[in-house]
Amino acid sequence: MKTWFKTLIATCAVIPFAQCSMLPGSNAAIAAEPAAAATAPAPTTDADPALWVVKDDDTTIYLFGTVHVLKPGLGWFDEAVKSAFDTSGELMLEVVLPEDQAAIVQATLPMAMDSSGKTLSSRLSPDELKAYQAAMTSVGIPPAQFDMFEPWFAAMTLAVAPLTKLGFDPAQGAEKQLTLHAKAAKKPVSGFETLEEQLGFFDTLPEKEQVVFLNETVKDIDKLGPTLDKMVAAWIKGDPDGLATLMNESMEATPILAKTLLFDRNARWADKLKERMDRPGTVFVAVGAGHLAGKYSVQDYLKERGLTVTRVEY
């Protein structure tokens, strides 16, 4: 299967839990994060995700691959990961999401809504429309509610809607937990990109690619849980090669998506990290694990720029 979902979950931090929970009439099981979820439960499963480091005489940058939604009880914030984080003076993420969910919705809706007046249902064949409506209904979202939106937004929403029922919790995602730890330690938190930039990657996809995204998500909706379980298993073992293998099929099948969401962004981030090496200090960089796996990874682009990237063994 092409599974655009693999690309979304491993490379892009904009996951529309908040957006969908605040759309009028939506019954999606992706409501706002409860305050009680801010603290991770006691770990029950040891996890050792991959960690890399780039150094010179006065600058250290750690590279940590994340999964944006996780099941509770994974013990990943310990050992070398916690040590690297504790010694870092700042945290750098893909994007720093606003704490106010209304602000996220405010930024999302203008891009998500179709300004041409063309309905989502009119872009689909009768068979595609029937399957799409059945999939949306199955996760508690009235299909008519999304008819004024562009296909990428419906696809992204449908891709994450089942996850909470499958035990995944956005509050346990690595970025969420790292941000909480950074704030508690009064470490500054910054992002490579803005919310609007990340949303724009999807919004500027050609209509044909957006419809493929939606149809593939509909077709594979029942496989989303097992797919994410496999990706998390590779992440837990610190196996970026395994993660890259899982993503290879979708990368080869969707070259435009791969270029937009992975390769171009990795190159830009490598440029920013090279610039950051000119200033002293220690930085903990946490981005989707897909950016640090396989060919044309951030590490590959850093090496092209003359920097040495070393895997931290632990």
Q: Which stretch of 49-63, 83-97, 204-218 has the lowest confidence by average pLDDT?
A: 204-218
| Burial (CB count within 10 angstroms: exposed 0-12, middle 13-18, buried 19+), residue 109 | middle
* pLDDT number for residue 43: 74
* pLDDT number for residue 35: 36
Q: Cβ of 265: how many Cβ atoms within 10 Å?
A: 23
Better pLDDT: 249 or 298: 298
User: Given pLDDT bands bounded at 50, 70 and 90, which one contains residue 37?
Assistant: very low
CA distance 66 to 132: 30
Which residue matches tokens 């809607």?
Answer: 161
**pTM score above 0.85:** yes
* pLDDT number for residue 39: 53
* pLDDT number for residue 252: 63
CA distance 278 to 245: 34
CA distance 213 to 194: 23
H or E stretch including 283?
strand 281-288
pLDDT(19) > 60: no
Residues of the chain with pLDDT > 90: what percent? Answer: 62
Instruction: Categorise residue 79: left if φ over 0, alpha if ψ from -120 to 50, beta otherwise.
Output: left
Q: What does the pLDDT look like over 194-249, one tens digit per residue?
A: 999 999 998 999 999 899 889 988 998 988 889 889 999 999 999 999 988 887 66
For the chain, the domains span 4-32+46-311
